[in-house]
Structure 1
Amino acid sequence: MIAPAMPLVSIITPSWNVERFIGETIESVQAQTVDDWELLIADDCSTDQTATIVSRYAASDARIKLIRQPRNGGPALARQAAIDNAQGRFLAFLDSDDMWLPTKLERQIAFSKKTRAALSYTAFRRINEDSSVTGRLITVPASLTYEQLLKNTSIATLTALVDREIAGDIAMKNEPYDDFCLWLSILKHGQIAHGLNEDLARYRVRGVSVSSRRLRSAGWVWHIYRNVEHLPLIKSAWCFGHWAARAWLKRRQF
């Protein structure tokens, strides 16, 4: 008996109480011009109909797999559960209320192979809760080193693609801003991340106030500098100043 071929891309999606959005997210994956993928949705004990909706899609598309977390542990543990089950060479990250444009995987995989990127990322636009307003294009730098990423906000989770043949084994840290921690861990030992400046994704801005979200993110970044990356105080302050300025510029328009 011939074993089934491994998927080229494993899509890592944590979910929690997103019954309003998860269908659009899944359908944006199904609309990809690359069809050699698996979508691993790790549901973090949703109390709404999220898991039921995912199960319905999975019943008609074997590439979609629902992973039920035994207890609510947050996005880092949910992402790790999906990674533990991933079979693909590439890991793509897509949160459960965001969406991709149809050529996202095709364009980014070709770009990743051409640049031999352990980690790549793309431009994107923000959308509001009901997808009726689309913001300006959020452009990205051509490349980022570890030192540059410490001071930068450019790698949005829904745009990240990891080539495991180059990056090797990866693991989420159970920390706030676990995605930022992962990008840093990939680049820390000399890898360079490469940016594809094409509009390929839609990041959904939901009801939490902008001011509270900014303050929370700032606190998480400071925590990572001091307690995860163990940067000296002066370097942490220097990096934080640059990070905060870039974050302000990035968010000054929708």
Structure 2
Amino acid sequence: MKPLVSIITPMYNNANVIERTISSVLNQTYPNWELLLVDDASTDQIKAILKPYIDKDSRIKLYSHKNNKGAAKARNLGTKMALGNYIAFLDADDLWESNKLQLQVAQLKSNNTDVCFGSYEWIDSEGDPLNKKVHALKSLTYKKLLKANYIGNLTGIYNCEKLGKIYTKDLKKRQDWLLWLEALKRSEKPAIGITKTIAYYRITEGSLSSNKTSLIKHNFNVYRVGLGFSFLKSVVYLIQFFNEHLFVKKRLIKPIT
């Protein structure tokens, strides 16, 4: 029996893009998955769009919040309902390559790692390529991940049987970084990165990376609130983060020629 992969997709007013996202899951060459769609009290017509998919394919399931609670609680609800051996994440406006799960399940089954991630490319709000690729490291330790977030959440998958279910703290941003830190903290093995492109990340106006003030605040909160570091230790790690982010991690973002 092939391991079951639970895919968690939080949604909030994503009616204009959700069909392409679901299609990228339906097109997976690895068939044993369940897609847990968590609607965070959307006000658009997303439920009407989802109904035909849910009616047609029993692997697609919908859960809903009555009130908007944010991405962290939406992901946590998906995690609570997940039945899979492995858990992966795909935001409602991002896309996967068709062999994404097949490549990653093979890595997790090899028992060389409990966490797998990969390279991804940027697309614009219309889904057109921006000709930029974020290259994944081949191996990633907890210590390295603590310096900067090297795991694109849309590419991450972890072994739930080995590590247990991981619930993220309710920070406004960067909860995904905390989740992968917790995964590597629980594991005795480094994460393995797939260097091929396995996903496509949609860049929109007002994204976190474009707002430097928000970047400082939200990353400080990862250390201070999320990890419970002292104020001084959080400042030291924040300085280390910017050094890593600007002079090391940025080298992994390269034009596609």
Relative to the length of structure 1, the TM-score reads 0.90
Q: Aligned partners of 1:253, 1:216: CA distance in 2, in Å?
A: 26
Superposed CA RMSD: 2.2
Cα contact 1:145–1:193 (8 A) shared by 2: yes
Find the counterpart in structure 1 of residue 62 from structure 2: 66
Q: 2:200 aligns with which of 199, 202, 209?
A: 202
Q: Is 1:178 the equivalent of 2:180? A: no
Q: Is 1:238 the equivalent of 2:219? A: no
Letter of the 1:185 counterpart: E
Find the counterpart in structure 1 of residue 108 from structure 2: 112
Cα deviations by residue, 1:194-227 (Å, 9 ceiling, x for unpaired): 1111111111112326764444234211211122
Find the counterpart in structure 2 of residue 217 from structure 1: 215
Cα contact 1:31–1:102 (8 A) shared by 2: yes
Query: Structure 1 71/18 Cα, relative in aligned 2: closer, same or farther at 3 Å?
Result: same
**Pairs within 5 Å for 1:1-254:** 8-175=4-171, 176-189=173-186, 190-208=188-206, 212-231=210-229, 232=233, 233-246=235-248, 248-249=250-251
Q: Aligned partners of 1:64, 1:240: CA distance in 2, in Å?
A: 40
Cα deviations by residue, 1:6-63 (Å, 9 ceiling, x for unpaired): 9711001000011110000000000001111110010001111112212221111111
* Contiguous gaps of at least 5 residues in structure 2: none
Matched residue SS, 2:182: helix
Query: Structure 1 6/102 Cα, relative in aligned 2: closer, same or farther at 3 Å?
Result: closer
Cα deviations by residue, 1:80-100 (Å, 9 ceiling, x for unpaired): 111111001010100000000
Letter of the 2:23 counterpart: E
* Contiguous gaps of at least 5 residues in structure 1: none
Matched residue SS, 1:121: strand
Q: Tell me the matched-pair count.
A: 250
Matched residue SS, 1:243: helix
- The Cα of 1:234 is off from its aligned counterpart by 2.6
Matched residue SS, 1:47: coil
Q: Which shows bigger deviation, 66-75 or 181-190? A: 181-190
Matched residue SS, 2:195: strand
Letter of the 1:116 counterpart: N
Matched residue SS, 1:110: helix
Cα contact 1:55–1:66 (8 A) shared by 2: no
Cα deviations by residue, 1:59-113 (Å, 9 ceiling, x for unpaired): 1111111101121010000001111110010101000000001111111110222
Cα contact 1:222–1:240 (8 A) shared by 2: no
Query: Structure 1 218/234 Cα, relative in aligned 2: closer, same or farther at 3 Å?
Result: closer
Matched residue SS, 2:147: coil
Q: Aligned partners of 2:45, 2:249: CA distance in 1, in Å?
A: 34
